[in-house]
Amino acid sequence: MENIIDVKNLTVKYFTDEGTVHAVNDISFEINRGETLGLVGETGAGKTTTALSLLRLLQSPPGEIVDGDIVFDKDHILTLSEDQMRLVRGGKISMIFQDPMTSLNPVLTIGDQIAEVIQIHMNCGGAEARIEGEEMLERVGIPKERYDEYPHQFSGGMKQRVVIAIALACKPSLLIADEPTTALDVTIQAQVIEMMKDLQKQINTAMLLITHDLGVVADSCDHVAIMYAGEIIESGSLEDIFDNPCHPYTNGLFGSIPSLDKDVKKLSPITGDVADPTHLPTGCHFHPRCKYAEPVCKNKRPMVTSINDTHQVKCLIYESLLQTREVVKYV
């Protein structure tokens, strides 16, 4: 498979009067063309900061990419000029933001908002942009007759479809979807996810799907990266993560979900609070919440351990098991 984006050792910090926020800490991942990577974690894990970094949309100050490299289609994103980045944003990499209610301009018609992207990146006139915009509306399930209507005339689900139409209008190579179904009810969620998958196949777009909903991940992703305290603590194929979750945090996420297969009276949620990014715990950042933590976990930082060719985990449990050649499911 052809690699479309390769993120290496990305580190992002926010420098504030209250202290330094360690938002993203030395993460690496790659996405192949046409495939979907699910980035999963609790609120505050650093998922959205990662997404904004790929487009260089961090507010600076206080945000700053202090280390790492982002290679998109052979271009080093962090070395591009601002003019070059304007051609990338919307044209080659598009982003669906969390809340469709605030992503659309209330005083412009939805057609004008779609056409604006097309005119900028496809160098076409207004009439041609309108034809392309109407076609894009039809592709996301909205009649083209609604082209001249305003955002307030649409429901939440319809607004989300409009946002997706804007993001995919120029057939980007990479789509970043940041919690694209959060504000929608379950039925509309399923429709939106199915529509995104269909459009992705039609134009062979790679996707970074940011979510905390493992159900959405199971239905949409080829690969999964679990994020905690700004780190990717486990990654692998969809089958690796769902059939053999290794990190205690990953198991905690699955334990917090009701199951139709298991007859249990109570769920097993993760205890404690999310790590404070301004004062991250020493050693393994997850050890204050981990029921398997040993004294060594408080002082030693875990390294990446390979469970198999596609499955990696950052946990001292698996480091010790690897040393004894006993790489088995521990938790």
Rounded to whole angstroms, the Cα distance separating 313 from 70 reads 22
Q: What pLDDT score does 330 carry?
A: 44
- Going from N- to C-terminal start, the domains of the chain cover 101-171, 248-323
Could you give the CA distance from residue 173 to residue 205 in angstroms, rounded to a whole number?
A: 5
- Tell me what the mean pLDDT of segment 130-155 comes to: 92
| The pLDDT value given to residue 177 | 92
* 66-80 pLDDT tens trace: 999 999 998 999 999
d(CA 242, CA 254): 9
| Stretch 81-102: mean pLDDT | 88
Q: What region does 99 belong to: left with phi over 0, alpha with psi -120 to 50, or beta?
A: beta
Euclidean distance between CA atoms 31 and 176, whole angstroms: 11
Q: How far apart are CA 167 and CA 96, in angstroms?
A: 6
| The pLDDT value given to residue 323 | 56
Q: Residues of the chain with pLDDT > 90: what percent?
A: 62
Q: What is this structure's pTM? A: 0.89
Strand partners, 3: 32
94-98, 224-228, 249-253: range with lowest mean pLDDT: 94-98
Q: Tell me the average pLDDT of the chain.
A: 89
Q: What are phi and psi of 107, to 5 degrees?
A: -100, 5
Would the pLDDT of 204 be above 90?
no
**pLDDT band (50, 70, 90) for residue 53:** very high
State the pLDDT at residue 321.
62
| Contact in structure between 157 and 188 (CB atoms under 8 Å) | yes
